[in-house]
Amino acid sequence: MSNAVRRTRATLVVALLWTGLLAGLTGCTGGVPGTEGDKPRAPGDTIRITPEDEAEGVAADGRLEVTVPDGRLERVEVTQIEDARPAKVPGAISQDGLSWRPADGTRLALAAKYRVDAVALDAHGRRSARHTTFTTVVPEQRFTGYVIPENRTTVGTGMIISFDFNRGIKNRAAVERAIRVTSVPPVEVVGHWFDAERLDFRPRAYWKPGTKVTVDMRLRDVEGAPGVFGIQRKTIAFTVGRSQTSVVDARERTMEVRRNGRLVTTLPVTTGGKKTRTYNGKMVVSEMFDVTRMNGATVGFTDRQGKSEYDIKDVPHAMRLTTSGTFLHGNYWVDPRIFGLRNVSHGCIGLRDEKGGSQDSPAGWFFDRTLIGDVVEVVNSPDRVVAPWNGLSGWNMNWRDWQIGSALR
Q: Residue 49: which pLDDT band, with cuts at 50, 70 and 90? A: very high
Which pLDDT does position 293 carry in this prediction?
Answer: 87
Which pLDDT does position 82 carry in this prediction?
Answer: 67
Is residue 340 predicted with pLDDT exceeding 60?
yes
CA 151 to chain centre: 16
Residues 6+ apart with CB under 8 A from 263: 256, 257
Is residue 17 predicted with pLDDT exceeding 50?
no
Is residue 20 predicted with pLDDT exceeding 60?
no
Q: Residue 19: which pLDDT band, with cuts at 50, 70 and 90? A: very low
Which pLDDT does position 86 carry in this prediction?
Answer: 62
The two most distant CA atoms of the chain are separated, in Å, by 61
Which pLDDT does position 24 carry in this prediction?
Answer: 34
What average pLDDT score do residues 168-189 get? Answer: 98
Is residue 39 predicted with pLDDT exceeding 50?
no
188-198 pLDDT, tens digit each: 999 999 999 99
275-328 pLDDT, tens digit each: 789 999 999 999 999 999 877 665 455 677 878 666 788 999 999 999 988 999
| Angle at the Cα of 271 from the Cα atoms of 265 and 275, rounded to 5 degrees | 165
HEC profile for 51-93? CCCCEEEECCCCCCEEECCCCEEEEEEEEECCCCCCEECCEEE
64-73 pLDDT, tens digit each: 999 999 999 9
Q: What is the CA radius of gyration of the chain?
A: 21
What average pLDDT score do residues 204-222 get? Answer: 96
86-144 pLDDT, tens digit each: 679 999 999 999 999 999 989 898 888 999 999 999 888 889 999 999 999 988 889 99
Return mean pLDDT, the chain. Answer: 87
Please give the Cα distance from 102 to 192 (Å, whole number).
Answer: 38
Is residue 56 predicted with pLDDT exceeding 70?
yes
Q: Residue 44: which pLDDT band, with cuts at 50, 70 and 90? A: low
Share of the chain above pLDDT 90, in %: 73
Which pLDDT does position 63 carry in this prediction?
Answer: 94
Q: Residue 27: which pLDDT band, with cuts at 50, 70 and 90? A: very low
Is residue 171 predicted with pLDDT exceeding 90?
yes
What structural domains and CATH numbers belong to the chain? 142-242+396-404 (2.60.40.3710), 244-393 (2.40.440.10)
Q: Is 15 helix (H, G, I), strand (E, B) or coil?
A: coil
